[in-house]
Amino acid sequence: MLDVFLTIDVEIWCDGWEEIDRKFPTAFRKYIHGDTRRGAFGLPYQLDVIAGHGLHSVCFVEPLFSTRFGAAPLEEIVDLVLEREQEIQAHLHTEWVDESHMPLIENNKEKRQYLFQFNLEEQSRLIAAAIELLKHAGASEITAFRAGSFGFNADTLRALAANRIPFDCSYNFNMFGPDSGVSPGVALVEPARREGVCEYPLTVFRDGLGKIRQAQLTSCSWAEMERLLWRALHEKRKAFVILSHNFELLSPSKCSPDDVVIRRLHKLCDFLDRNRDCFRTSGFRNREAHCPIEKQPPLLKTSVATTILRLFEQTYRRRYP
Ligand SMILES: [Zn+2]
């Protein structure tokens, strides 16, 4: 049995930092609800597909934006996740720190994109603030965390331990994972205990052309994802962590749905629903915080044929968005 984590990073952007108070209401509809002329394909749609198949997802919800725009939109996000019986955990984009109307930390005037740009005490305070905001909005059981843009370091894990958060999902070998200081010289592929926290790395793989890619709906074709899932099961891996976002099913302009990615989500959910004897969608609530794997296996791989098929599919997406 392989534990599959369908993780969705839930966040809002105002497409720049000018006039964000004016732009926020439209941005909220666009990013969270995914309004397009053909219907809404944002977070509620995605969660309806997952919940409709009786599957479980983990929504890493970014709450710092609410220190600028108020609690109501955050409460709306929390409600729409909880009413579909999905799980809420904490995400944190530090780009909001200097935009906040609350003094989150002392040095809050400069914009810093990544959590690793803050010292241990600042990280600890920001994580505590995120947990508190989510709790006030109705998400009471926060046991896991993911840093915005995977921009974490070893201090992040220490800050999580200080805040009694037992799980982290910020390690991405394709981004800052190798430079995070969390696992020097060894790629984290499976859950591992580091700095008192259980790290669940994002699943990445080497494609048929040798490029490292992440298990994400917009980054790999369904054929690739299916092969990787079977391979991970065959190799008796412990966890398979898939990444999505609230706006994952939209085109890059966020104005129209991306039919290719929508089909991938449906195929993934059909597959996980059909193969419950092999794959179990899981979360971090009520999970025992122990990581038995000491030796890390190599990265998963896909074949040249599946990579070429994906390149055709990606070209189609770009040509017919
Ligand atoms: Zn994010």
Residue-range domain boundaries for the chain: 2-319
Residues 98-129 have pLDDT tens digits of 999 998 999 888 999 999 999 999 999 999 99
3-state percent helix, strand, coil for the chain, nearest multiple of 5:
40, 20, 45
277 alpha carbon to ligand 1 midpoint, in Å?
Answer: 32
148 alpha carbon to ligand 1 midpoint, in Å?
Answer: 4
62 alpha carbon to ligand 1 midpoint, in Å?
Answer: 7
Residues 265-292 have pLDDT tens digits of 999 999 999 999 999 999 999 888 877 7
Residues 184-198 have pLDDT tens digits of 888 999 999 999 999
Query: How much is the pTM?
Result: 0.94
For 48-52, 159-163, 309-313, which range has the lowest pLDDT when averaged over its residues?
309-313
Say what the pLDDT of residue 56 is. Answer: 98
- Do the strands 39-40 and 35-36 form a parallel or antiparallel pair, or are they unpaired? antiparallel
Q: Does residue 270 or residue 321 have the better pLDDT?
A: 270
113 alpha carbon to ligand 1 midpoint, in Å?
Answer: 11
Say what the pLDDT of residue 318 is. Answer: 65
170 alpha carbon to ligand 1 midpoint, in Å?
Answer: 10
222 alpha carbon to ligand 1 midpoint, in Å?
Answer: 23
235 alpha carbon to ligand 1 midpoint, in Å?
Answer: 30
pLDDT over 70 at 255, yes or no:
yes
Residues of the chain with pLDDT > 70, as a percent, come to: 97
221 alpha carbon to ligand 1 midpoint, in Å?
Answer: 22
Domain topology for 2-319? TIM Barrel (3.20.20)
Alpha-carbon separation of residue 124 from 146, 165, 193, 221 (angstroms): 14, 11, 19, 38
304 alpha carbon to ligand 1 midpoint, in Å?
Answer: 31
CA-nearest of 45, 11, 4 to 278 is: 4
Say what the pLDDT of residue 210 is. Answer: 86
pLDDT over 90 at 233, yes or no:
yes
- Do the strands 87-92 and 167-168 form a parallel or antiparallel pair, or are they unpaired? unpaired
**208-216 — which CB contacts under 8 Å span 24+ positions?**
208/302, 208/303, 208/304, 208/305, 208/306, 208/307, 208/308, 209/304, 209/307, 212/173, 212/174, 212/299, 213/174, 214/172, 214/174, 214/243, 215/240, 215/241, 215/242, 215/243, 216/242, 216/243, 216/244, 216/248
Say what the pLDDT of residue 190 is. Answer: 95
144 alpha carbon to ligand 1 midpoint, in Å?
Answer: 14
Residues 2-23 have pLDDT tens digits of 999 999 999 999 999 999 999 9
Say what the pLDDT of residue 26 is. Answer: 96
Say what the pLDDT of residue 155 is. Answer: 98
114 alpha carbon to ligand 1 midpoint, in Å?
Answer: 10
91 alpha carbon to ligand 1 midpoint, in Å?
Answer: 7
The residues pairing with 257 across neighbouring beta strands, listed in sequence order, are: 250
pLDDT over 80 at 71, yes or no:
yes
What is the rounded average pLDDT of the residues 157-167? 98
